[in-house]
C-alpha cells in the first residue's frame, strides 16, 4: 500500500508509543514507525504484554500494529525513509557536572540529532516531542546544519501534554495541541504540515501555534503550574492538621471560585512521575542561568514543599505508631505514582518505602500494575520487603496500612475483613484521602488522613 506520509518516532517510551499509536489509529493513510535503541522495549511493543499500561492502549495497538504502525530498532533506515521525525527520547535531570541535579541531561537528545544528520538523504521536518529547555531547537538546528550536505531540516516544537493514566483520552481529545515554529516561510510551511496531521481528529481551534521558544517554554511552565497547585494544597493541609480545619472543605471552598477552578486540588502524599520535578528543576536552572534568582527560588519552593509533604507523612506515621517502627509490618497500598499507570518514576512511594526501611520496618507492597517496577526501585534494599498482588493477603498480620496510590480498587475493599486480619491497634494512613474515614474508625482502625483531624481510639 502507498502511504501519504512516512512518519518516524525516535523513542518508544510512555510518550512515543501511545502518541504514535493514536496518530496511526486516527490516520490510516500514514505509515507510522516507532524506533528505539532498547530492543527489549521494542520486543514488548510487538508482544501481547505492552511495556506501558494505559487504559485503552492495548486495544488501539492491536488494531493498528502491522497495519500502519510498526515498532523496530532500525533507526537509520527509519530516518532515511521518513519525511517527518518525532523525537521523543528521555530528557532526565542531569546527575553529573555543570547543572547536576537541576539541568536537563540532553545527551540522548543530541545523539539523536547527530544520527539524523548522518543518515538523512532528503529534507525532513524534525518535531521536538520531548520536553526540553527553552531554545533547544536552536541547538538541534545547528547540529543538523553542521553537515554541509544541502539537506533542509525544519525543527518544530510540539510538546506533549498527555497525563499518564489518562493518556489515550488526552491524546484523542486534547485540550490543545501546541506547535511552535520559526516564523519564516519554510518554518510556517513545516508547521502547517504538522497541523494537517493533527487536524485529522483534533478540532482546528484547539491546535495553537506560536514561535518555537514560546512553545518550548510553555511546556515547562504548564508542568510548573500544575505541580504548584499540588504543592499549594499540600502546604495548606499541614496547617489544617494543626488547626483542626478540614482540607476537603477548604479545597472545595477555594475551588468553587471559578477563577481558581476545582480541578487538581486533591491533597496527597506528594506529586511524583517522571516530569513534574524534572521540569521544574529545569525551569529553576534556566532562571538561574539568566540570573533571575527570585524567579528560580519561587519555583524551587514548589519542589521543596513536595519533599516536605513526603517527609511529613513518614514523620506522622512514626509519631502515631508510638515513635518506633522497628520490626513493625507496614503494608503499602499502591506504588505507582498515580492511579491507572504502572509507572513508578519519582513515585512518592519510593521515598516513603526507603524511609520506612531505614526505620527498620518490614514492608509489604501491593499494587495492581506496578509491582514489577517496585521490585526494580527497591532492588538491593528489599530484604525485608515482600510484594503481593492481592491487597487482602498483603494486609494480613500488618500493624498499619499506608494508602500511597489512589487506585479505585482500594475504595471498595472489605475493610472489616482487612481489620480482622491485622495486628491491633491497627492503623490506616490515607495518603490520598480516598477512603471513608468515619467508617474505618467505626470498624476499629486508628485513621490518619491528610489535612484533617485524625480519628483515634486512644
Ligand atoms: N511520561 C510522560 O507523562 C510525559 C508527558 C509529556 C512529556 N514527556 C516528555 O517526553 C519525553 C519522553 O518521555 P517518556 O516518559 O516517554 O520517556 P521514556 O524513558 O519512557 O522513553 C524514552 C525512550 O527513548 C529511547 N531513547 C533514548 N535515546 C535514544 C536514541 N538515541 N535512539 C533511540 N531511542 C532512544 C529510550 O530507550 C526510551 O525507550 C521526555 O522528554 C519527557 O519529559 C513525558
Q: What is the pLDDT of residues 357-387, one digit of tens each?
A: 999 999 999 999 999 999 999 999 999 999 9
Measured CA to CA in angstroms, residue 41 lies from 18, 36, 71, 128 at distances of 13, 8, 9, 21
Distance 130 CA to ligand 1 centre (A): 7
Burial code (b: 16+ CB inside 10 Å, e: under 16) for 412-449 equals eeebeebbeebeebbbbbbbbbbbebeebbebebbbbb
Question: What span, in angstroms and rounded, lies between the C-alpha atoms of 399 and 441?
Answer: 15
Summarize pLDDT for 228-259 with one digit per residue, the tens: 999 999 999 999 999 999 999 999 999 999 99
Beta-carbon contacts of 264 under 8 Å, excluding residues fewer than 6 positions away, are 226, 229, 230
Average pLDDT over residues 392-410: 98
Distance 348 CA to ligand 1 centre (A): 21
Least confident of 91-105, 195-209, 268-282, 307-321: 91-105
Query: Is there an atom of ligand 1 within 6 Å of 342 CB?
Result: no
Query: Is there an atom of ligand 1 within 6 Å of 41 CB?
Result: yes
Distance 7 CA to ligand 1 centre (A): 17
Average pLDDT over residues 419-424: 98
**pLDDT above 80: residue 322:** yes
Mean residue pLDDT of the chain comes to: 97
Summarize pLDDT for 69-118 with one digit per residue, the tens: 999 999 999 999 999 999 999 999 999 999 999 999 999 999 999 999 99
Burial code (b: 16+ CB inside 10 Å, e: under 16) for 110-126 equals eebbeebbeebeeebbb
Question: Ligand 1 pocket: which of 22, 88, 166 to mutate (most atoms <8 Å of CB)?
Answer: 88
Q: Which long-range contacts (CB under 8 A, 24 or more apart) does 1-5 make?
A: 3/29, 3/30, 3/31, 3/68, 4/29, 4/30, 5/29, 5/30, 5/31, 5/83, 5/84, 5/197
Ligand 1 atom with least separation from CA of 112 = 31
Structure confidence at residue 337 (pLDDT): 98
**pLDDT above 90: residue 28:** yes
Distance 390 CA to ligand 1 centre (A): 31
Other Cβ atoms closer than 10 A to 1:
7
**Cα-flanking dihedrals φ and ψ of residue 157, to 5°?**
-105, 125
Helix H segments across 321-389?
A: 348-358, 371-377
User: Half-sphere exposure of residue 140, counting CA atoms within 13 Å on the CB side?
Assistant: 31
Structure confidence at residue 55 (pLDDT): 96
Question: Ligand 1 pocket: which of 20, 89, 104, 218 to mutate (most atoms <8 Å of CB)?
Answer: 89
Which comes out higher in pLDDT, residue 149 or 105? Answer: 105
Structure confidence at residue 21 (pLDDT): 98
Structure confidence at residue 382 (pLDDT): 96
- Say if residue 312 is preceded by a cis peptide, omega within 30 of 0: no
Question: Which protein residue has the closest C-alpha to ligand 1 atom 36?
Answer: 11
Distance 440 CA to ligand 1 centre (A): 41
Question: What span, in angstroms and rounded, lies between the C-alpha atoms of 348 and 359?
Answer: 17
Average pLDDT over residues 35-58: 97
SS3 label, residue 123: coil
SS3 label, residue 397: coil
SS3 label, residue 41: helix
Query: Is there an atom of ligand 1 within 6 Å of 164 CB?
Result: yes
* Torsion angle, alpha carbons of 99, 100, 101, 107, to 10: 90
Structure confidence at residue 150 (pLDDT): 85
List active site positions. 275
Ligand 1 atom with least separation from CA of 275 = 43
Structure confidence at residue 453 (pLDDT): 95
Q: Residue 148: pLDDT band by 50, 70, 90 thresholds?
A: confident
Structure confidence at residue 198 (pLDDT): 98
Structure confidence at residue 1 (pLDDT): 72
Distance 236 CA to ligand 1 centre (A): 34
Average pLDDT over residues 332-350: 98
Question: What span, in angstroms and rounded, lies between the C-alpha atoms of 140 and 181?
Answer: 13
Ligand 1 atom with least separation from CA of 89 = 24
Share of the chain above pLDDT 90, in %: 96
Kind plus residue range of the DSSP H or E element containing 429: strand 427-430
Q: Residue 145: pLDDT band by 50, 70, 90 thresholds?
A: confident
Average pLDDT over residues 416-436: 98
Does residue 30 contact residue 4 with C-beta atoms inside 8 Å? yes
SS3 label, residue 208: strand
Ligand 1 atom with least separation from CA of 115 = 31
Question: What span, in angstroms and rounded, lies between the C-alpha atoms of 60 and 25?
Answer: 7
Amino acid at each position: 500500500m502507498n502511504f501519504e506520509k512516512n512518519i518516524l518516532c525516535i523513542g518508544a517510551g510512555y510518550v512515543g508509543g501511545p502518541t504514535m499509536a493514536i496518530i496511526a489509529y486516527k490516520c490510516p493513510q500514514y505509515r507510522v514507525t516507532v524506533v528505539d535503541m532498547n530492543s527489549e522495549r521494542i520486543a514488548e511493543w510487538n508482544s501481547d504484554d505492552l511495556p506501558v499500561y494505559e487504559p485503552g492502549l492495548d486495544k488501539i495497538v492491536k488494531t493498528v500494529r502491522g497495519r500502519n504502525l510498526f515498532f523496530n530498532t532500525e533507526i537509520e533506515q527509519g530516518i532515511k525513509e521518513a519525511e517527518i521525525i518525532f523525537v521523543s527520547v528521555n530528557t532526565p535531570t542531569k546527575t553529573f557536572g555543570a547543572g547536576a541535579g537541576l539541568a536537563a541531561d540532553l545527551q540522548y537528545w543530541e545523539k539523536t540529532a547527530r544520527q539524523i544528520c548522518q543518515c538523512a538523504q532528503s529534507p525532513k521536518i524534525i518535531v521536538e516531542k520531548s520536553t526540553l529547555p527553552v531554545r533547544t531547537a536552536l541547538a538541534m538546528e545547528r547540529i543538523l546544519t553542521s553537515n554541509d550536505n544541502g539537506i533542509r531540516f525544519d525543527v518544530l516544537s510540539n510538546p506533549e501534554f498527555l497525563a499518564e493514566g489518562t493518556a489515550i483520552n488526552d491524546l484523542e481529545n486534547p485540550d490543545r495541541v501546541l506547535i511552535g515554529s520559526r516564523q519564516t516561510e519554510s518554518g510556517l510551511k513545516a508547521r502547517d504540515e504538522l497541523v494537517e496531521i493533527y487536524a485529522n481528529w483534533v478540532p482546528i481551534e484547539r491546535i495553537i501555534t506560536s514561535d518555537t521558544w514560546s512553545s518550548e517554554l510553555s511546556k515547562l511552565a504548564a508542568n510548573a503550574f500544575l505541580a504548584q497547585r499540588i504543592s499549594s494544597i499540600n502546604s495548606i493541609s499541614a496547617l489544617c492538621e494543626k488547626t483542626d480545619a478540614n482540607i476537603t472543605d477548604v479545597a472545595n471552598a477555594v475551588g468553587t471560585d471559578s477563577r481558581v477552578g476545582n480541578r487538581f486540588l486533591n491533597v496527597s502524599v506528594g506529586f511524583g512521575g517522571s516530569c513534574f520535578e524534572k521540569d521544574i528543576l529545569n525551569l529553576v536552572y534556566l532562571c538561574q542561568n539568566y540570573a533571575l534568582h527570585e524567579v528560580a527560588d519561587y519555583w524551587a519552593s514548589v519542589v521543596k514543599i513536595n519533599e516536605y509533604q513526603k517527609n511529613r507523612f513518614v514523620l506522622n506515621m512514626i509519631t502515631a505508631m508510638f515513635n518506633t517502627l522497628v520490626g513493625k509490618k507496614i503494608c503499602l497500598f499502591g506504588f505507582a505514582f498515580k492511579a491507572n499507570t504502572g509507572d513508578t518514576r519519582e513515585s512518592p512511594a519510593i521515598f516513603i518505602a526507603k524511609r520506612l526501611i531505614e526505620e527498620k520496618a518490614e514492608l509489604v507492597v501491593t499494587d495492581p500494575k506496578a509491582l514489577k517496577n517496585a521490585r526494580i526501585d527497591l532492588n538491593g534494599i528489599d530484604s525485608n520487603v515482600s510484594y503481593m498482588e492481592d491487597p487482602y493477603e498483603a494486609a494480613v498480620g500488618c500493624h498499619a496500612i499506608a494508602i500511597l496510590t489512589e487506585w479505585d480498587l482500594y475504595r471498595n475493599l472489605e475493610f472489616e475483613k482487612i481489620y480482622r486480619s491485622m495486628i491491633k491497634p491497627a492503623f490506616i494512613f490515607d495518603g490520598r484521602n480516598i477512603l471513608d474515614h468515619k467508617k474505618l474508625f467505626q470498624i476499629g482502625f486508628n485513621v490518619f488522613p491528610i489535612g484533617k483531624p485524625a480519628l483515634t481510639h486512644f
